[in-house]
Structure 1
């Protein structure tokens, strides 16, 4: 039996198909409260016990020149580049207010610009934001840190890529979704192959350490034949990481998705065939299946971190930097500081009003309980390192794991019978076939899930 056969189990996909969280956090954002007390955030930021912990910074640039119909991100579609200037000024004022709360001698070992389209900013505006960041926080040299940015190849020339490298960025994440022109037209993202190739070549020529590419299966007009061509092309380009997300059609939440003809979406059977194709082609080509929808070359830091059991998850997904306090900047961004999650106002007027009034832009959040912290660590271990070693949790939390989670471990019996997990006296392991169902496995330990509307989450498969 091949590795792909072990990973892809058609007989179980229908059984475990469900809606569920992606667990970029636990508790999820649905547990954030509008009456969150900002004093909790300020105390967590000033905690002297965190002085040995590095910082991670996330900047949300919400602007896009055009809107992709499938997208569920917090974005603003506009061709008016002048809108970036006041937003940039507000983020710099936010940098001042956040820096005043933290010990800024703490080194920054991770930084990420996301969106939207961060390259909506001009080269000068990118320089201004990075300079302002370096003036307020202690960024490690780029050979000791992970500085990443999301790139739309339609918005980034070779000159842009070289400029980003000069600013210290060492990792690029490229949106592609599909190379097929019919699919691109249907999703309003026409992106000739040459643009993607040019950006990847420029990244390599300028010494970027890692190139990640996003694809999506389940889009209008996709077929196994057409998506095989996309995967064949992508494997020739050989990015370090490939993420292949299942399209979540949720027009009740994202109005722009109504622009696509539902009749052109792949049938459930075709979606499964597309997923099988992804697993087979990428694993046969030597990519390591990290879990969920992420694949990485064995030489990439993501695969190496998983092998060392140091892989982590944050609000941007899988991360190689565990235990950082994360500070979010910009509209809708989320931070994690100590035992607190805090999210800025999602809309641009609300964000701008708070900053212009001299306040932080935090609009909602949650302070984790002891039970939240324990379950967060359990879910993180499952999602990232695919196992639980009970003694580690017993030492860290003073609990008897098997007794405390007897109900949860019993609910995993069905997963064990299906060959997805192995339950031992002192350890729970996610087996190769279980990697595709790791969200379902983690959901067993989520105490909030029963009270949440399932249509707020995407399908796990």
Structure 2
């Protein structure tokens, strides 16, 4: 399961005095610089920080409403059809000094998981991966021709790469080698001990050599979809595997030298109980992954066909789900994991945890990331890119239908005005300001008004006076603390950080009030 705050190398923000809400005003920055006296650093103090999330069932009930996960702002619901040749102009005009994060979407799976909320293609045909790989390579060639390299280099620099899906390991080992070797001809990659190169894997679908091949290529981080270790639950969601299989994969990955291992779990699945899920969490703690993502299952069978295999009466009730969440938080905290935010936990020495304590954590369509200075370049069906230039930032998406995506790639080979992206969001000056506030709340549980004033040329208290008034109830409930310096999310409010962020979302109440699943 996967889910980019930006940095600019200009210091012009210090000299901008006009507020952002004036017509025609240009952004002070497209990638806000983290100053040496970073106000978001060390907010948690030591590893045994007071910022451990506090679980309060009554408060969660009070504030638990639907909201986005904010992998971007504006969110993907603001996409509009893209104008002809716009993607070409965006790629040609991007800031060449900004490094790249590459994302590849592999839509295929060999098995249908009934909890799935993605547009996956279930197939066992090996030829599908080879055909799809050729389209990926064609898209890479198309986009690479439009990209300029930074001064002194012949190729754009890549600091991060991620393969998601679907099941990326649906690609055969030799196809993975082919893709990786082709990418080396198009881009300059940081050495694997400096870059972040990750892939999602289905432990049931690994060949004997897959992990060795991946590590040999330079992948240094893997994520395993586990969801639950209870056999009854696994059968109910059609994803059966043993705990021993998961443990063997983790052990092999460690022996091969992967830097970081993530495990995905889901609470709220059919036949789960607090006791059975406790057993799963305890077993996973014993396996000692570097990171965990613990997701809330949102049952939306009217939207996702696969979920129609799950009966409502087999699902745990809301009280049981809250108990599972509370137990999980306590167990992981006791085991020494740091709560990052929005379902994510990491060991204190993991890069995510370190970046959060240093005030350098970011969030984008890949979730939490340490690579906030990168442009995201997506490849494959439904993939999303986030590209900045000197005046704004664009979010682009490829077609979500496989045949339509492939038709676009075929057309682009003969008609240069045709591009893979079919949707776009052009962020406004106000969007960039609100994004900065939202992402710092979600990454660092804090917004520093002086920092916002310096970067965006506003008086934050005056500019956000209505939002500050709306936060009054949360301050009364001790979810946050507000003063002239800024807004701090307190331990009691950390699980509801999205609710705090939603106050600053201009689009949510106007257009999309009921389009999201519950926060908890």
Length-normalised TM-score, structure 2: 0.86
Give 3-state SS (helix, strand or coil) of 2:263's partner: strand
> Contact conserved, 1:157 with 1:199, CA < 8 A, in 2?
no
CA drift at 1:452: 3.1
Give 3-state SS (helix, strand or coil) of 1:172's partner: strand
CA drift at 1:39: 4.3
- Choose the corresponding residue for 1:30, options 49, 69, 77: 77
- 1:63 aligns to 2:108 (yes or no): yes
Equivalent in the alignment of 1:371: 430
Equivalent in the alignment of 2:444: 385
Distance 1:37 1:134 in 2: 31
Residues 449/167 of structure 1: CA separation in 2 closer, same or farther (3 Å cut): same
CA drift at 1:40: 4.1
CA drift at 1:51: 2.3
Distance 1:258 1:3 in 2: 42
Equivalent in the alignment of 1:396: 455
> Contact conserved, 1:245 with 1:293, CA < 8 A, in 2?
yes
Equivalent in the alignment of 2:129: 84
CA drift at 1:3: 6.7
CA drift at 1:61: 0.3
Distance 2:353 2:51 in 1: 17
Alignment RMSD, CA only?
Answer: 1.4
> Contact conserved, 1:40 with 1:367, CA < 8 A, in 2?
no
> Contact conserved, 1:158 with 1:202, CA < 8 A, in 2?
no
Equivalent in the alignment of 1:434: 493
Distance 1:445 1:5 in 2: 24
- The farther-off stretch of 286-295 and 36-45 is 36-45
Equivalent in the alignment of 2:472: 413
> Contact conserved, 1:4 with 1:280, CA < 8 A, in 2?
no
Distance 1:426 1:39 in 2: 45
Distance 2:88 2:460 in 1: 33
> Contact conserved, 1:221 with 1:265, CA < 8 A, in 2?
yes
Give 3-state SS (helix, strand or coil) of 2:209's partner: helix
Distance 1:84 1:106 in 2: 27
- 1:75 aligns to 2:134 (yes or no): no
Residues 136/4 of structure 1: CA separation in 2 closer, same or farther (3 Å cut): closer
Distance 1:383 1:262 in 2: 32
> Contact conserved, 1:3 with 1:283, CA < 8 A, in 2?
no
Distance 2:65 2:511 in 1: 13
CA drift at 1:75: 1.1
Distance 1:216 1:66 in 2: 18
Deviations 1:177-198 (A, max 9, x none): 0000000000010111122112
Give 3-state SS (helix, strand or coil) of 1:256's partner: helix
Equivalent in the alignment of 1:202: 252
Q: How does 1:21-420 map onto structure 2 within 5 Å? A: 21-34=68-81, 36-37=82-83, 39-47=85-93, 50-104=95-149, 105-338=155-388, 339-358=393-412, 359-420=418-479
Give 3-state SS (helix, strand or coil) of 1:197's partner: helix
> Contact conserved, 2:98 with 2:374, CA < 8 A, in 1?
yes
> Contact conserved, 1:213 with 1:242, CA < 8 A, in 2?
yes
- The farther-off stretch of 355-364 and 199-208 is 355-364
CA drift at 1:38: 5.1
Give 3-state SS (helix, strand or coil) of 1:357's partner: helix
CA drift at 1:254: 0.5
CA drift at 1:270: 0.4
Residues 399/42 of structure 1: CA separation in 2 closer, same or farther (3 Å cut): farther
Distance 1:306 1:40 in 2: 35
Length-normalised TM-score, structure 1: 0.97
- 1:15 aligns to 2:72 (yes or no): no
> Contact conserved, 2:51 with 2:490, CA < 8 A, in 1?
no
Tell me which of the two structures has the higher relative contact order, counting C-alpha pairs closer than 8 angstroms and 6 or more residues apart. Answer: 2
Distance 2:118 2:361 in 1: 24
Deviations 1:73-94 (A, max 9, x none): 2211111121111110010000
Equivalent in the alignment of 1:449: 508
Distance 1:85 1:61 in 2: 11
CA drift at 1:360: 2.3
CA drift at 1:41: 3.3
Aligned length: 458
> Contact conserved, 2:202 with 2:225, CA < 8 A, in 1?
yes
Distance 2:511 2:114 in 1: 27
CA drift at 1:346: 0.4
> Contact conserved, 1:215 with 1:244, CA < 8 A, in 2?
yes
- The farther-off stretch of 172-181 and 135-144 is 135-144
Structure 1 unaligned runs (5+)?
A: none
Give 3-state SS (helix, strand or coil) of 1:435's partner: helix
